[in-house]
Amino acid sequence: MKKYSVRLKRSAVKEIENIPRKADRRRIMAKIGGLADNPRPIGCQKLSGKNRYRIRQGVYRILYSIEDDILTVYVVKVAHQRNVYRGH
């Protein structure tokens, strides 16, 4: 399987930076890095209504889309589970 490139939206980077615990930030970045090898890991869910997927890391959710034709994963939002789906 070929490696995907992972791109983070600027707002997603800010959301990660605003997470208070450093350990949570590290785990989230590791989970995002793993999307390069497998953009549809065990536990990911396709969201209804949009061409987006969701993976969980603790109480945080990572929303992303996949462009298989150009082997790219776009991370669009990282937020706490209670706030992640608002406005998306």
Give pLDDT, residue 2: 82
Give pLDDT, residue 36: 95
pLDDT in tens, 38-80: 999 999 999 988 889 999 999 999 999 999 999 999 999 999 8
The count of structural domains within the chain is: 1
Q: Is residue 88 part of a domain?
A: no
Which has the higher per-residue pLDDT, 54 or 83? 54
Q: Is residue 39 part of a domain?
A: yes
**What domain range is 68 assigned to?**
5-80
Q: Is residue 19 part of a domain?
A: yes
Q: Is residue 87 part of a domain?
A: no
- CATH number of the domain bearing residue 53: 3.30.2310.20
Give pLDDT, residue 48: 85
Give pLDDT, residue 81: 86
Collect all residues with Cβ–Cβ distance below 8 Å to 53 and sequence separation of at least 6. 39, 40, 44, 45, 46, 47, 63, 64, 65, 66
Q: What is the mean pLDDT of residues 22-35?
A: 96
> Alpha-carbon distance 51 to 37, whole Å?
20
DSSP state of 21: -
Q: Is residue 51 part of a domain?
A: yes
pLDDT of 25 higher than 80: yes
Q: Is residue 85 part of a domain?
A: no
Q: Is residue 11 part of a domain?
A: yes
CB-based contact 35:73 (threshold 8 Å): yes
Q: Is residue 86 part of a domain?
A: no
pLDDT of 86 higher than 90: no
